[in-house]
Chains A and B, each alone.
Chain A
């Protein structure tokens, strides 16, 4: 396994003390595999991604185990992490508008990790940056390399970000909502680009998104997070076709679907997303779930397996099915 995460927990400091935002999550990712992480805002998916790179906010406490290529990352020094970041593990960010420094030329920003990790000279790195920009199918790569970020469109900037991320041929790319800020058409092209890059190299992708359609189309496996906990995980096909957790089901039903009757309202999940509940016992979704029974409020649900790596954390997992 390329990446094995076990019992990962992240506590971030808030004015009222440490708040658990990722709660005992365990998952793994093989070479060349793509794993989707889906959940509402505040479900802990971004914090999970940041924890993998040891980029959690100042004062945050990370516990559990993150094994990357057989090496434990939790507790590693900042210097050691700096050598991994951008080289073996790279990250693509959500906002291409703000993830590039507005005052530096795009080419220089793409060249940076190459000079840092590959020891290329400035000239070599610049030349390689143009190749990379061409590789991510940016029109006129020489011109783009000389441009400042403001001169590029959102999609072009995201391609530049991807070029920056793949420069050192990382084994793991973490993409945090890489297409959320883009138009749907641009989104499709960027995702196709990521798919293409994945198939031509051995890199594994951790795709964080709130968009089930994106996950369904571009991932092998998916984990569904709620309040910092993994509610359901398994092969994309199985999880999305036959969800075994009421939360996944509710997410699927809240999707806008073509062919719905005119004027029909979208299904919503009652209540507001709860923040991770730390060490309290009980199911975090109990307050909003239609299937809640007494035990849900008092006992944290166990993981129930449904074969082929499909796991649901629910007391009534067996009863979950598509509503008529």
Chain B
């Protein structure tokens, strides 16, 4: 026990493993902007369904497109979806959560009932509803996932902000004559940031999964755009001939989600001093 504790890296194994996986994901996305082995959408029928080789590391798909290039390009879509969808969730969720926490009474009840109403729809159902209404595409998929994030962040913000507002320093700030906006910015936000960061990481993972699912269903990325979910859908057609084609995007999605979840867990342990002291 003491031995493993001594060799455990600072911040915990999950933090470092998660951070490494996420770093690889980000590196792949950045790399894909400037370089991919082949243009990810270049069709090369004569070399279709080629097995992994020196020329094509992961082989080619049923249209002869280079799978490695598509995985790299797909990572960019995943990151983009995650960043914007979580960004939408944070921007609106924090504001609504703070309004609820500060206003109390009817406004708070109303906002929270609205959140509960949104919770009643599973993430994917909500996304399918929005994309089928406003048309399929990455942009609408991002908005749909972002909308799904709003009530989650709003609820978390309200709950943690209420915790901070019940602390004496929030009362002391009021006793010093500070208004609600100043208290929100100077006292509430810094103190609830750790919880929000952790939740944002988890939501990032959920966003990647949701985008993959939507693209798989044909509601996300549209041809010629590539995405991991769309790669899965394409691979399904040739599942008996080349099952490995489903494997690559599947592994990419699994490792990204695993990395983000580990990072979230690790950050929670690292940012919460009470948990740390106990372990």
Our verdict on whether A and B bind, yes or no, reads yes
Residues of A within 8 A of B (CB): 53, 55, 58-59, 82-87, 90-91, 93-95, 98-104, 112-113, 116-117, 161, 164
CA distance A102 to B164 in the complex (A): 11
Known A101-B186, A104-B190; judge A94-B168 contact (CB<8 A): yes
Q: Does B167 contact A (CB under 8 A)?
A: yes
- Which residue of B168, B176, B190 contacts A95 across the interface (Cβ within 8 Å)? B168
Q: Does B113 contact A (CB under 8 A)?
A: no
A116 touches B176 (CB 8 A): yes
Question: Which residue of A is nearest B170, CB measured?
Answer: A101
| Chain B hits for A55, CB < 8 A | 171, 174-175
Q: Does B122 contact A (CB under 8 A)?
A: no
B186 touches A86 (CB 8 A): no
Interface residues of B in 165-179 (CB under 8 A from A): 167-169, 171-179
CA distance A113 to B182 in the complex (A): 12
Task: Report the minimal beta-carbon distance from A51 to chain B, rounded to whole angstroms.
Answer: 13
Question: Which residue of A is nearest B108, CB measured?
Answer: A58
B176 touches A164 (CB 8 A): yes
Question: Which residue of B is nearest A161, CB measured?
Answer: B172
B175 touches A90 (CB 8 A): yes
Could you list some 5 contacts between A and B, CB below 8 A? A82-B177, A90-B176, A98-B168, A112-B176, A117-B177
A58 touches B169 (CB 8 A): no
B177 touches A84 (CB 8 A): yes
Known A101-B191, A103-B190, A104-B190; judge A116-B177 contact (CB<8 A): yes
| Chain A hits for B187, CB < 8 A | 101, 104
| Chain A hits for B174, CB < 8 A | 55, 85
Task: Report the minimal beta-carbon distance from A206 to chain B, rounded to whole angstroms.
Answer: 13
B168 touches A99 (CB 8 A): yes
Known A103-B191, A112-B176; judge A58-B104 contact (CB<8 A): yes
CA distance A85 to B104 in the complex (A): 22
CA distance A308 to B128 in the complex (A): 79
CA distance A59 to B108 in the complex (A): 13
A112 touches B168 (CB 8 A): no
A101 touches B177 (CB 8 A): no
Q: Does B105 contact A (CB under 8 A)?
A: yes
- Which residue of B169, B177, B182, B191 contacts A100 across the interface (Cβ within 8 Å)? B169
Question: Which residue of A is nearest B167, CB measured?
Answer: A98
| Chain B hits for A59, CB < 8 A | 104-105
CA distance A226 to B44 in the complex (A): 89
Quick one: CB contact mask for B97-141 with A, threshold 8 Å, 1 for yes? 000000011000000000000000000000000000000000000
B190 touches A85 (CB 8 A): no
CA distance A116 to B177 in the complex (A): 8
Task: Report the minimal beta-carbon distance from B172 to chain A, rounded to whole angstroms.
Answer: 5
Question: Which residue of B is nearest A110, CB measured?
Answer: B176
Quick one: CB contact mask for B149-192 with A, threshold 8 Å, 1 for yes? 00000000000000000011101111111110010001100110
CA distance A144 to B59 in the complex (A): 64
CA distance A313 to B125 in the complex (A): 68
Question: Which residue of A is nearest B104, CB measured?
Answer: A58
A113 touches B176 (CB 8 A): yes
CA distance A116 to B179 in the complex (A): 10
CA distance A159 to B205 in the complex (A): 47
| Chain A hits for B186, CB < 8 A | 101, 104, 112
Task: Report the minimal beta-carbon distance from B74 to chain A, rounded to whole angstroms.
Answer: 39
Question: Which residue of A is nearest B165, CB measured?
Answer: A58
CA distance A103 to B169 in the complex (A): 11
Task: Report the minimal beta-carbon distance from A111 to chain B, rounded to whole angstroms.
Answer: 11
| Chain B hits for A84, CB < 8 A | 177
Interface residues of B in 56-112 (CB under 8 A from A): 104-105
Known A101-B187, A101-B191; judge A82-B179 contact (CB<8 A): yes
Task: Report the minimal beta-carbon distance from B137 to chain A, rounded to whole angstroms.
Answer: 41
Quick one: CB contact mask for B188-213 with A, threshold 8 Å, 1 for yes? 00110000000000000000000000
| Chain B hits for A101, CB < 8 A | 169, 173, 186-187, 190-191
CA distance A161 to B171 in the complex (A): 13
| Chain A hits for B179, CB < 8 A | 82
A116 touches B178 (CB 8 A): yes
CA distance A95 to B171 in the complex (A): 12
- Which residue of B105, B171, B178, B191 contacts A112 across the interface (Cβ within 8 Å)? B178
CA distance A49 to B23 in the complex (A): 54
| Chain A hits for B169, CB < 8 A | 98-102
CA distance A82 to B176 in the complex (A): 8
A91 touches B177 (CB 8 A): no
| Chain B hits for A117, CB < 8 A | 177
Taking A82-B178, A85-B174, A103-B190 as given, write out 11 further A-B residue pairs in contact, using a Cβ cutoff of 8 Å, ordered by the A residue number.
A53-B175, A55-B171, A58-B104, A84-B177, A93-B171, A95-B168, A98-B167, A99-B169, A103-B191, A104-B186, A113-B176
A91 touches B190 (CB 8 A): no
Task: Report the minimal beta-carbon distance from A13 to chain B, rounded to whole angstroms.
Answer: 11
